[in-house]
Amino acid sequence: MAPVMDSVASFISREHQLFIGGEFVPSKGTSRLDVYNPADDTVLTTAAAAGAEDIDAAVAAARAALPEWRALPAARRAELLWNRGTRITELADEFAQIDTLNNGKTTADAMAVDIPLVTGLLKYYAGWATKLEGRTITPMGGSNFHVYTRREPIGVVGAIIPWNFPLLMCGYKLGPALATGNTIVLKPAEQTPLSALRLAEIIREVGFPDGVINIVTGDGPGAGAPLAAHHGVDKITFTGETTTGQKIIDAAKGNMKKMSLELGGKSPSLVFADADLDAAVEGTFGAVYFNQGQCCIAGARVFVHDDIYDEFTQRLVDRVSQIRLGPGLDPDSTMGPLVSREQQTRVRGFIDSGVEQGATIVSDAQSPVPEQGYFVRPTVFTGATADMRIMREEIFGPVAVVGKFSDEEQAIAAANDTAFGLCSGVWTRDSARVHRVAAGIEAGTVYVNTYGMFDPAVPYGGFKMSGFGKELGEESLDSYLQTKTVWVNLD
Ligand code: NAI
Ligand code: MG
């Protein structure tokens, strides 16, 4: 097992406070969040549990910082974002360990995915800060007016993020919000506040003006709900469960906040008979089990053509049996624990429901699972029907449900038989089929002969009950900007 770095141990042992107005300040209340190490079920430390008064203070700080931040040359905003990305790269090992200790993910995954993506996207949006332009429009009814648009920041952004990619989710929100000249109050998930708090230290170091970024730790009802309802917040950006997203819509309506919601999924993977089977097995495996299955894009409903169903399923089961469960700090572990006791109980509940409702576990049901920590045995189900909970609800754990289809039409119908529409995977060598299926699937992203690709330049976001508003890419900027039209009479 890799030893915990001294700098990480020293960071974790600090007395964690709220980051408001450029300072670490105590919460106005006394309640604290216990912060766990999911690999061994121990309390690592505690963090402040912010309440409504703390949210008021953070929103006030963000509002006060707005004029200075908007007036700053775009080149300086770009530089600050870029420098923060660089600093995260310099501290990559430290951040990776913090997220491993607090979230459970393997350090290898954090180093391969979370860190490069977060630094990449901060740098990508640093580039956009200097390229936000309006348009000049000639009105169709005549040209004695000069009409132009300005793209202005919306104001104070409230960001509420989940625990599955703790540092990376901070970047998803901070990159575009700041590049476009907004200020922000960010609430990490109560389970995983630590990397966001370490990020706050860097924010100070890099020299962001006070109040531009405020980080308030706390739980959903205590801190998230007052942030979503706050009349001093102009836009809310949320990633998490669909039912929480619905609560946020209700809370946000008081002052007509702008919103982007990145919600749950139940994404399908379609494996056609002509697929490259090696690639399809490996890709589908990653789609389901990466990050312990705790991915909103998890391709957890796998539909396979009849002709290759038996072979594919056997190969997927073999691949799953190679998983080595263990603490994320152990380089031999290929899968860590789930984030919390609650998630472990929830995912096990889904597995039980699958069995009770008549589906069959075809993966090794006896493989060893560490006793301490929130581990769940990676599982493959077959024989599930469309109405079962394991087919309909987001499990958010290492569970695949493999079904069959006999033709393309059936495959598309099965893919779309869900309330969600986040992602999808298609495995085939038939190029005409690729385009037919891509057009037929109701989801924000279609991966063809690959899965789970992310790039800061490529937009991503859900259809149907998976939410609205794109993240990443140029598209994300739109949801942090409002267009002002100016008509000038030339007479
Ligand atoms: P959640 O949606 O309750 O939590 C996500 C964030 O929302 C956290 O920061 C939380 O503090 C905040 N929050 C909770 N209630 C709130 C409220 N009323 N107002 C404002 N903010 C609030 O997700 P949870 O309970 O941690 O996980 C439960 C399930 O949700 C998971 O098993 C999974 O199925 C799904 N989930 C999906 C995610 C995704 O990216 N699609 C991410 C996290 C969870
Ligand atoms: Mg919840």
Tokens of residue 200, six digits: 């706050």
Using DSSP bridges, classify how beta strands 23-25 and 18-20 pair: parallel, antiparallel or unpaired: antiparallel
- The count of other CB atoms within 10 Å of the CB of residue 1 is 12
Tokens of residue 409, six digits: 């039409």
| Bridge partner residues of 146 (DSSP) | 488
> According to the model, what pLDDT value does residue 143 have?
80
pLDDT in tens, 352-379: 999 999 999 999 988 899 999 999 999 9
Measured CA distances, 192 to 29, 102, 209, 217, 340 (Å)? 20, 6, 25, 9, 10
> According to the model, what pLDDT value does residue 367 have?
87
DSSP string, 124-158: HHHHHHT-----EE--TT-SSEEEEEEEEE-SEEE
- Which band of pLDDT confidence, cut at 50, 70 and 90, is reported for residue 66? very high
pLDDT in tens, 275-319: 999 999 999 999 999 999 999 999 999 999 999 999 999 999 999
464 and 476 in contact (C-beta within 8 Å)? no
38 and 336 in contact (C-beta within 8 Å)? yes
**Tally of CA atoms within 13 A in the half-sphere of 139 that contains its CB:** 14
Question: Ligand 1 pocket, 187 CB below 6 A?
Answer: yes
- Which band of pLDDT confidence, cut at 50, 70 and 90, is reported for residue 438? very high
- Which band of pLDDT confidence, cut at 50, 70 and 90, is reported for residue 142? confident
pLDDT in tens, 382-422: 999 999 999 999 999 999 999 999 999 999 999 999 999 99
> According to the model, what pLDDT value does residue 159 have?
99
End-to-end alpha carbon distance in the chain: 76
123 and 81 in contact (C-beta within 8 Å)? yes
CA of 125 to the centre of ligand 2 (A): 30
Q: If residue 428 lies in a helix (H) or strand (E), which one and from where to where?
A: none
Q: What is the Rg, in whole angstroms, of the alpha carbon atoms belonging to the chain?
A: 23
Q: How far apart are CA 114 and CA 107, in angstroms?
A: 10
Nearest to 275 by CA among 390, 150, 426: 426
CA of 252 to the centre of ligand 1 (A): 16
Q: Which residues are catalytic, by number?
A: 262, 296
Q: Is the pLDDT of residue 173 over 90?
A: yes
Question: Ligand 1 pocket, 244 CB below 6 A?
Answer: yes
Question: Ligand 1 pocket, 248 CB below 6 A?
Answer: yes
> According to the model, what pLDDT value does residue 489 have?
96
> According to the model, what pLDDT value does residue 45 have?
98
CA of 394 to the centre of ligand 2 (A): 13
CA of 336 to the centre of ligand 2 (A): 22
| Bridge partner residues of 259 (DSSP) | 236
Nearest ligand by distance to the CA of 248: 1
Tell which atom from ligand 1 comes closest to the C-alpha of 340: 26
Burial of 247 per CB tally in 10 Å (0-12, 13-18, 19+): middle
Give me the mean pLDDT over the 80-96 stretch. 97
Q: Which amino acid is at 146?
A: H
Pocket test for ligand 1, best of 105, 236, 237, 241 (most atoms within 8 A of CB): 241
- CA 86, 87, 93, 98 dihedral sign is negative
Tell which atom from ligand 1 comes closest to the C-alpha of 190: 11
Q: What is the mean pLDDT of the chain?
A: 97
> According to the model, what pLDDT value does residue 171 have?
98
Question: Ligand 1 pocket, 170 CB below 6 A?
Answer: no
Nearest to 24 by CA among 280, 259, 250, 205: 205
Tell which atom from ligand 1 comes closest to the C-alpha of 228: 20
Q: How far apart are CA 145 and CA 430, in angstroms?
A: 53
Q: How far apart are CA 158 and CA 239, in angstroms?
A: 12
- Which band of pLDDT confidence, cut at 50, 70 and 90, is reported for residue 485? very high
> According to the model, what pLDDT value does residue 470 have?
95
Question: Ligand 1 pocket, 240 CB below 6 A?
Answer: yes
Tokens of residue 235, six digits: 């836009």
Phi, psi of 233, deg, nearest 5: -105, 130
| Bridge partner residues of 150 (DSSP) | 484
Q: Helix count (H) and strand count (E) of the chain?
A: 17, 22
CA of 248 to the centre of ligand 2 (A): 12
Phi, psi of 380, deg, nearest 5: -120, 125
> According to the model, what pLDDT value does residue 482 have?
98
Q: What domains can you pick out in the chain, each with its CATH number?
A: 6-263+467-486 (3.40.605.10), 268-455 (3.40.309.10)
Predicted TM-score (pTM) of the model is 0.98
